[in-house]
Amino acid sequence: MSKLASTDGAAGWEHFEHGADVGLRAWGPTLEAMLEQAGIALTAAVTCPASVRPSERIAIEIRGRDPETLLYDWLNSLVYEMAVDRLLFARFQVHRRDGGLAAEAWGEPIDVARHAPAVEVKGATYTALNVSRLPDGGWLGECVIDV
């Protein structure tokens, strides 16, 4: 579990250790902000997010209500789009809709020379999957990704 007790209204992310793979931890004042940060943490497992230009936009829709399943589905949708269109994403905007999420992600095709991708993400897992509320009302999300 994170030492994090408060977001102070800010959003952020970090990686935590997992035996063979990478743990993502993201937080924000809202569920949407937390999911956006989780998207950046996902990119950061592959390359430096600042190296990715937000030149192309894709839309993602996710159905469901359970926050943990939303995090699982959100990360796996991004993994799918990264794999199929060979994209990396730098910026995210997540909106809550009735019955799920509507999101946009901005990025660009992988440039091996510039991005030097360290790993390919196979999928987000249920290992250490956790979405919880912080004492200040903020949101915390954690997930281990298989790389």
Interface residues with another protein (CB under 8 A)? Answer: 15-22, 46, 69, 72-73, 76, 79-80, 83-84, 86, 109-110, 112, 116-120, 122-127, 129, 144, 146-147
Beta strands in 72-138 (DSSP E): 87-97, 100-109, 123-124, 130-133
Rounded to a whole number of angstroms, the minimum distance from the CB of residue 87 to another protein is: 9
Query: Are the CB atoms for 36 and 11 separated by under 8 Å?
Result: yes
| Nearer Cβ to another protein (5/80) | 80
Rounded to a whole number of angstroms, the minimum distance from the CB of residue 29 to another protein is: 27
Rounded to a whole number of angstroms, the minimum distance from the CB of residue 127 to another protein is: 5
Q: How many angstroms separate the Cα of 21 from the Cα of each of 15, 62, 108, 120? A: 10, 25, 25, 11
CA nearest to 75, candidates 123, 120, 29, 117: 123
| Nearer Cβ to another protein (93/125) | 125
Rounded to a whole number of angstroms, the minimum distance from the CB of residue 16 to another protein is: 7
